[in-house]
């Protein structure tokens, strides 16, 4: 008889067509579904090139994106491994194949093992082969040739159960995995090889023969059992003068004699070869589908809390919880190893290119947490932020980020303490959160002080050199050629000088370029440090004899008050940060022109110092939900909120793919505004949202019974002093009077067209009647609801009802609008804030403030939004005015400019930009355990 030919070409063609149709169907639901394969080829062997061309052609037919990367024959193993690592960490690539064989100087095992398990579409890696060998194992990928063998047997209608199968060849690529697959199909398998004795006799017993020994026409027809099924895996070339190449491709089986005995047989070529490629494509599609499923199924595995009563100190609560390794948190969010930069086990930086990878996603829900006018004890805004995040992420199954500022060491070692939250709703490890973190504030300090040094240095050299000498040093000759440093083209453009050759400038142009002529009386730029050192508020510099009498009075700010910090918070990417840093104004020339950081030639250097600080810091809450800690602008003269970049990135990580339900699957980003809504919330909308283009879906206003009683006329509260009777016992009448403050904040928030929820942060002394009173007054004022939360004592569990209310409110429509148009004058913007937000009758500018407003208008900065620095303890500028005062006039004493950050700030009081330390500062309690190395005494 003549054997039936098993046509691998036909079967492979059907598979490619099926793959093409499957991809097209998937793309109807998700247009971004695009299976992608990268092939690495080293050298230019003709057989390897032939195989690669086959794979490229087949991938194109199947609608699979296939990229070939070729390396020269002499490429080093290290270079090859580095490229493999790069592809392993590229989420857009679903399969990675290294075309074998490799040159002798490269270890094939090292290279194939370097391919990530979830991209090993060849199935050659230890994990996949090991799982395949296990009974009941689950490899991610089955090696392509053995898989193709099994599909051909199935297509040919061969029932393997109970059959005797002989595999000739024991390679890890074909023979051994083929034997595992045959065994899994319930065949009785014998594996033979080059040293097997009595091979023909063994083969004679086989119902199925798989030949993969690599010897041309090795298996003869007389070896076969009558009616056997033969699968020939061999690819061998033998001389053939009739062929143009002088060679002919044959298998391991002598086809002519075998076809006379076998019932079914695969030809060579046209049998297993095309099936190998088809199975490779099938593996790539399976990998792409698995990747999409993993992304869709991304979820946070919460850490359980062991609640204690009474609640221990914050540091004790933090220490009692063992955090997840930050790599685990990152993986749960769908981040690759290459997208995070580790700083120890519990914190990491996230690279900005993650945003580009995810920019197609629909943003998650954006939640802003603000508060009522607080008491000096604080009302738990940060704690509530953490509680909501833990409730949403650990108890309601949502991807939820808490986005908060990095705390300054000033308050940490001063009187306020850190900003990690508290009780069972906080960021952990809290000591790492409050100490240095990843060094962002130090980078800001360095950048700020480099600019400060540049200012005084330039003034010194301008005072001691003539124009041409100054120009020669600013644009020096190098190897006899004078060229502008790239940064100088920014100054040339500003001056309207279009020349590129330094030698072409006229004397007048040289003077204009080289001489900034800074008026010392107008310099606003100070040095900074991250310590509450009141004695540096005003200093005199230039006292050393070497400064030749060039003295001036200046001072220090705290690092978080630096405009560099505000730039970090409001930048949208690295390029935007570079532009913002460059346009920061440090003072005015004697001709009345603003002098910028780029005029001094230092913008690029500042960017270099800040290039890592711009990446958000990833941490976690007590219940293992993610936290972005990034930037920490001084809450009085700046936005007092975390960074735009962290918010934008978190909204994408918590966002939805196009094939996901944006309501059911949406994650949440809970971010915090500084101080109360009337200060922090107003700036969040009018400055941060104006800059970022993002708009919150819901505003949460944190209130406490204690603070509202103060606004109802209760006694003053002082840190460390016992609470008065009114705050320890039920007093609904006093509370209801104080709700006028809550009502004003609700009205202010609603004026931006966003739904409002009130979070009542529960204290032990609060009663049901008092909670109900707040709810009644909040709803009457226009809030969607007022919900009590006990997250401080119970963690996320205590804020579940609040989180559910936020989910419901976030689905409601919004009609976003800003408080004022940017085309209003500086004074009109100040009036809008004072009258509409604070309830003032108007504002009154000092003569100095009027001159500053006129100067900034003349210089072209009147379009910038504004913020007003004032007390946080009243809606007004006067801390003694509680409740919701009206009819007062807000005094504007001073106006400063932060054009790099993108706003102006006016002072309505004597705001200190570097705080002082109290008599008994927080640092008194801080120490290190000499046995464990742990920090003690933090809060």
Q: Using CA atoms, how far apart are residues 297 and 303, in angstroms rounded to an integer?
A: 18
Q: Using CA atoms, how far apart are residues 489 and 498, in angstroms rounded to an integer?
A: 9
pLDDT score, position 850? 96
CATH topology of 4-286 equal to that of 826-907?
Answer: no
Residue 410 has pLDDT above 90, yes or no: no
Tokens representing 389? 């995040």
pLDDT score, position 909? 78
pLDDT band, residue 296 (cuts 50/70/90) = confident
Q: Using CA atoms, how far apart are residues 314 and 216, in angstroms rounded to an integer?
A: 75
Cα-flanking dihedrals φ and ψ of residue 172, to 5°? -70, -15
Residue 935 has pLDDT above 80, yes or no: no
Catalytic residue among 26, 55, 416, 665: 55
Degrees to nearest 5, angle at CA 746 with 745 and 752: 100
Q: Using CA atoms, how far apart are residues 740 and 80, in angstroms rounded to an integer?
A: 68
**DSSP type of residue 305:** P
pLDDT digits (tens, 9 = 90+) for 833-854: 999 999 999 999 999 999 999 9
Residue 891 has pLDDT above 70, yes or no: yes
Q: Using CA atoms, how far apart are residues 594 and 583, in angstroms rounded to an integer?
A: 10
Centroid of chain to Cα 418: 23
CA torsion through residues 857, 861, 865, 869, sign: negative
**765-792 burial: b if 16+ Cβ within 10 Å, else e:** ebeeebbebbbebbeebebbbbbbbbbb
The CATH superfamily holding the domain 826-907 is Formyltetrahydrofolate synthetase, domain 3 (3.10.410.10)
Domain ranges of the chain: 4-286, 314-438+612-810, 441-610, 826-907
Q: Which CATH number fits domain 441-610: 3.30.1510.10, 1.10.20.10, 3.40.50.12780, 3.10.129.10?
A: 3.30.1510.10
Q: What's the mean pLDDT when you consider all of the chain? A: 93
pLDDT digits (tens, 9 = 90+) for 525-544: 999 999 888 899 999 999 99
Q: Which residues contact 738 (CB under 8 A, 6 or more apart)?
A: 707, 708, 709, 710, 711, 712, 713, 714, 882, 883
By CB neighbour count within 10 A (0-12 exposed, 13-18 middle, 19+ buried), where does 301 fall? exposed
Cβ atoms 671, 367 nearer than 8 A: yes
Q: Kind of pairing, strands 785-789 and 756-761?
A: parallel
Centroid of chain to Cα 605: 25
Residue 635 has pLDDT above 90, yes or no: no
Q: Using CA atoms, how far apart are residues 589 and 204, in angstroms rounded to an integer?
A: 99
Residue written as token pair 């001084």: 634
pLDDT digits (tens, 9 = 90+) for 340-376: 999 999 999 999 999 999 999 999 999 999 999 999 8
Cβ atoms 284, 37 nearer than 8 A: yes
CATH number of the domain located at residue range(s) 314-438+612-810 in this protein? 3.40.50.300
Q: Using CA atoms, how far apart are residues 778 and 747, in angstroms rounded to an integer?
A: 10
Q: Which helix (H) or strand (E) holds 556?
A: strand 556-558
Residue 732 has pLDDT above 70, yes or no: yes
Residue 60 has pLDDT above 70, yes or no: yes
What mean pLDDT is predicted for residues 73-89? Answer: 94
Residue 414 has pLDDT above 70, yes or no: no
Told to judge if 282 belongs to the known catalytic residues of this protein, a careful annotator would answer no
Q: Which of 37-46, 132-141, 526-535, 574-583 has the highest mean pLDDT?
A: 574-583
Residue 927 has pLDDT above 80, yes or no: no
Catalytic residue among 26, 41, 99, 347: 99
Q: What is the DSSP string of 55-75?
A: HHHHHHHTT-EEEEEEE-TT-
CATH number of the domain located at residue range(s) 4-286 in this protein? 3.40.50.720
Cβ atoms 165, 203 nearer than 8 A: no
Residue 417 has pLDDT above 70, yes or no: no
What mean pLDDT is predicted for residues 174-199? Answer: 94
Q: Establish how many alpha carbons lie within 13 A of residue 821's alpha carbon, considering only the half-sphere containing its beta carbon.
A: 3
Q: What is the DSSP string of 235-303?
A: -EEEE-TTSTTSEEEE-SB-HHHHTTT-SEE--SSSSHHHHHHHHHHHHHHHHHHHHHHHHHT----PP
Told to judge if 122 belongs to the known catalytic residues of this protein, a careful annotator would answer yes
Helix H, strand E, coil C: the string for 494-526 is HHCCCCCCHHHCCHHHHHHHHCCCECHHHCCCC
C-alpha distances out from residue 761 to 182, 305, 533, 789, Å: 65, 20, 34, 5
Catalytic residue among 120, 122, 232, 647: 122
pLDDT digits (tens, 9 = 90+) for 454-505: 999 999 999 999 999 999 999 999 888 999 999 999 999 999 999 999 999 9
């Amino acid at each position: 008889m003549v054997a039936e030919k098993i046509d691998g070409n036909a079967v492979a063609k059907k598979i490619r067509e099926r793959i093409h149709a499957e991809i097209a169907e998937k793309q109807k639901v998700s247009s971004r579904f695009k299976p992608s394969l990268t092939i690495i080829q080293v050298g230019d062997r003709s057989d390897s090139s032939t195989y690669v061309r086959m794979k490229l052609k087949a991938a194109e037919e199947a609608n699979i994106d296939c990229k070939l990367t070729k390396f020269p024959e002499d490429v080093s193993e290290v270079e090859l491994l580095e490229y493999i690592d790069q592809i392993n960490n590229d989420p857009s690539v679903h399969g990675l194949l290294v075309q074998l064989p490799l040159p002798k100087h490269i270890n094939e095992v090292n290279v194939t093992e370097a391919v990530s398990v979830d991209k090993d579409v060849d199935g050659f890696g230890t994990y996949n082969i090991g799982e395949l060998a296990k009974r009941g194992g689950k490899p991610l990928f089955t090696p392509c040739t053995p898989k193709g063998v099994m599909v051909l047997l199935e297509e040919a209608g061969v029932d393997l159960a109970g059959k005797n199968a002989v595999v000739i060849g024991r390679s890890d690529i074909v023979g051994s995995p083929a034997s595992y697959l045959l065994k899994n199909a319930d065949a009785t398998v014998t594996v033979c090889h080059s040293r097997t004795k009595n091979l023909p006799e063994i083969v004679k017993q086989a119902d199925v023969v798989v030949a993969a020994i690599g010897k041309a026409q090795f298996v003869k027809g007389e070896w076969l059992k009558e009616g056997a099924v033969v699968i020939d895996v061999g690819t061998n070339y033998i001389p053939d003068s009739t062929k143009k190449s002088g060679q002919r491709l044959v298998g391991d089986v002598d086809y002519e004699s075998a076809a006379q005995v076998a019932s079914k047989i695969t030809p060579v070529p046209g049998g297993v070869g095309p099936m190998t490629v088809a199975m490779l494509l099938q593996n790539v599609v399976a990998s792409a589908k698995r990747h999409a499923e993993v992304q869709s199924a991304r979820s946070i595995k919460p850490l359980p809390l062991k609640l204690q009563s009474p609640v221990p100190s914050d540091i004790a609560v933090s220490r009692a919880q063992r955090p997840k390794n930050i790599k685990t948190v990152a993986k749960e969010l769908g981040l690759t190893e290459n997208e995070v930069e580790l700083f120890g086990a519990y914190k990491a930086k996230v690279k900005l290119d993650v945003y580009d990878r995810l920019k197609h996603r629909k943003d998650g829900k954006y939640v802003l947490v603000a508060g009522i006018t607080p008491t000096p004890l604080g009302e738990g805004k940060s704690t509530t932020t953490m509680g909501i995040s833990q409730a949403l992420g650990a108890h309601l199954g949502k991807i939820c980020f808490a986005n908060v500022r990095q705390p300054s060491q000033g308050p940490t070692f001063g009187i306020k303490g850190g900003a990690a939250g508290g009780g069972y709703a906080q960021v952990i490890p809290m000591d790492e959160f409050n100490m240095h973190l990843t060094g962002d504030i130090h980078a800001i300090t360095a950048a700020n002080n480099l600019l400060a040094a540049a200012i005084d240095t330039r003034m010194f050299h301008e005072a001691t050199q003539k124009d041409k000498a100054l120009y020669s040093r600013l644009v020096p000759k190098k190897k006899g050629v004078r060229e502008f440093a790239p940064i100088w083209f920014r100054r040339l453009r500003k001056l309207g000088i279009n020349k590129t050759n330094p030698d072409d400038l006229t004397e007048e142009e040289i003077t204009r370029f080289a001489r900034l002529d800074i008026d010392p009386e107008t310099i606003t730029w100070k040095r900074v440090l991250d310590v509450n050192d009141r004695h540096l508020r005003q200093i005199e510099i230039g006292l050393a004899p070497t400064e030749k009498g060039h003295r001036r009075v200046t001072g220090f700010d705290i690092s978080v008050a630096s405009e560099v910090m505000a730039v970090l918070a409001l930048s949208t990417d690295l390029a935007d940060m570079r532009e913002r840093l460059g346009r920061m104004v440090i003072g005015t020339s004697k001709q009345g022109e603003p002098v910028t950081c780029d005029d001094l030639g230092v913008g690029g250097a500042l960017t270099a110092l800040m290039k890592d600080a711009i990446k958000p810091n990833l941490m976690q809450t007590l219940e293992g939900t993610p936290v972005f800690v990034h930037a920490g602008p001084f809450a009085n003269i700046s936005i007092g909120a975390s960074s735009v970049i962290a918010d934008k990135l978190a909204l994408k990580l918590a966002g939805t793919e196009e094939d996901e339900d944006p309501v059911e699957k949406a994650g949440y980003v809970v971010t915090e505004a500084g101080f109360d809504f009337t200060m922090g919330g107003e700036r969040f909308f009018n400055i941060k949202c104006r800059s970022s283009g993002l708009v919150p879906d819901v505003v949460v206003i944190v209130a406490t019974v204690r603070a509202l009683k103060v606004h109802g006329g209760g006694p003053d509260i002082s840190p460390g002093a016992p609470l008065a009777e009114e705050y320890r016992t039920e007093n609904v009448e006093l509370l209801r009077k104080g709700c006028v403050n809550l009502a004003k904040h609700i009205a202010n928030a609603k004026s931006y067209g966003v739904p409002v929820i009130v979070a009542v942060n529960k204290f032990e002394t609060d009663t049901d009647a008092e909670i109900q009173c707040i709810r009644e007054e909040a709803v009457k004022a226009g809030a969607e609801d007022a919900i009590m939360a006990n997250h401080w004592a119970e963690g996320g569990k205590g804020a579940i009802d609040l989180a559910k209310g936020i989910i419901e409110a976030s689905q409601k429509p919004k009609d976003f609008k800003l408080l004022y148009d940017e085309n209003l004058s500086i004074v009109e913007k100040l009036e809008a804030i004072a009258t509409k937000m604070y309830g003032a009758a108007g504002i009154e500018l000092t003569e100095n403030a009027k001159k500053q407003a006129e100067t900034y208008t003349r210089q072209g900065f009147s379009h910038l939004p504004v913020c007003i620095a004032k007390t946080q303890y009243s809606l007004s500028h006067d801390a003694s005015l509680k409740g919701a005062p009206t009819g007062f006039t807000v005094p504007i004493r001073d106006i400063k400019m932060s054009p790099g950050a993108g706003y102006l700030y006016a002072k309505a009081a004597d705001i200190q930009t570097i705080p002082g330390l109290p008599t008994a500062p927080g640092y008194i309690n801080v120490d290190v355990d000499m046995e464990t190395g742990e920090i003690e005494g933090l809060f």
